[in-house]
Chains A and B, each alone.
Chain A
């Protein structure tokens, strides 16, 4: 029996994966129904699944397809495999209430991402702190422009890149984009809510 690979969780009233959905290594994607939380899964040849750019793109593409059905999924982290569909369902059942709450939290929402890139000036301690302050200022500027337009936010920094993730109502995406016009930022989305799953 082939191992089962997990792409995302969906609400029971969400549509099935379109027949043409292509998963990891060109594999098909199917739905596992359980009580209250369903899963989009596919077969893989072996465990563990090694991370490659191509597979990461394929994983994300399946999650994006789920989002495009109109019902917001909870994306799964890359690389989760189970010995069989039954094993996957057993784990789902164990975490059912948390996953169900997570799905309810993102229902009707999408994730938008703002990437701020401010070159960090390392020529002196003062210059460095000033460039950090500039970046924080830019982040505050984004947040104040978006006030009232976002449901939840998360922030992450990685060297010179600061990433702001926002949970936004599908109906508010146009306004969100409108409010960011003119700012020197990179905006990504709408995408699936990777950053807003249930707390671990």
Chain B
């Protein structure tokens, strides 16, 4: 893997783990606190949250530390 691909691979990992995979609990809580993560690929993150909200409209997205 070339270094230039590293952000691509990391973005793929993040969108996969946050946005895909089976949901067992009705309360998937995505609480995004880490600033590095937000810096990294905000649009991917937002699409992940939107997707979660779309599927589970009543999901609380809690602010930091609640």
Query: Are chains A and B native binding partners rather than an unrelated pairing?
Result: yes
- Of the listed residues A48, A74, A200, the one surrounded by the most CB atoms of chain B closer than 10 A to its CB is A48
What's the tally of chain B residues with a CB closer than 8 Å to chain A?
36
Q: How far is the CB of B15 from chain A (nearest CB, A)?
A: 7
Q: How far is the CB of A164 from chain B (nearest CB, A)?
A: 11
- Verify A163–B12 contact, CB threshold 8 A: yes
What's the tally of chain A residues with a CB closer than 8 Å to chain B?
44
Residues of B within 8 A of A80 (CB): 23-25, 28
- Verify B37–A91 contact, CB threshold 8 A: no
Selecting from A12-20, A52-60, A136-144, the interface stretch reads A52-60
Query: How many cross-chain pairs have Cβ atoms below 8 Å apart between A and B?
Result: 117
- Verify B22–A78 contact, CB threshold 8 A: no
- Contact pattern, A 160-200, Cβ under 8 Å of B = 1, otherwise 0: 01010000000000000000000000101000001101101
- Verify B17–A77 contact, CB threshold 8 A: yes
- Contact pattern, B 13-28, Cβ under 8 Å of A = 1, otherwise 0: 1111111111111001
Residues of A within 8 A of B24 (CB): 6, 9, 39, 76, 80, 88, 91-92, 95, 99
CA distance A74 to B21 in the complex (A): 7
Q: Does A31 contact B (CB under 8 A)?
A: no
Instruction: Name A115's contact: one of B8, B20, B30 (CB within 8 Å).
Output: B8
B residues neighboring A (CB under 8 Å): 5, 8-25, 28-34, 36-37, 40, 43-44, 47, 52, 55, 62, 64
A residues neighboring B (CB under 8 Å): 6, 8-9, 39, 47-53, 56-57, 59-60, 74-82, 88, 91-92, 95, 99, 102, 113, 115, 117, 158-159, 161, 163, 186, 188, 194-195, 197-198, 200
A and B contact pairs by CB, cutoff 8 A, 9 listed? A53-B10, A56-B13, A78-B17, A78-B30, A88-B24, A91-B24, A99-B22, A163-B12, A200-B55
A75-B20, A91-B24 known, 4 other contacts, Cβ within 8 Å:
A51-B18, A95-B24, A117-B8, A200-B23
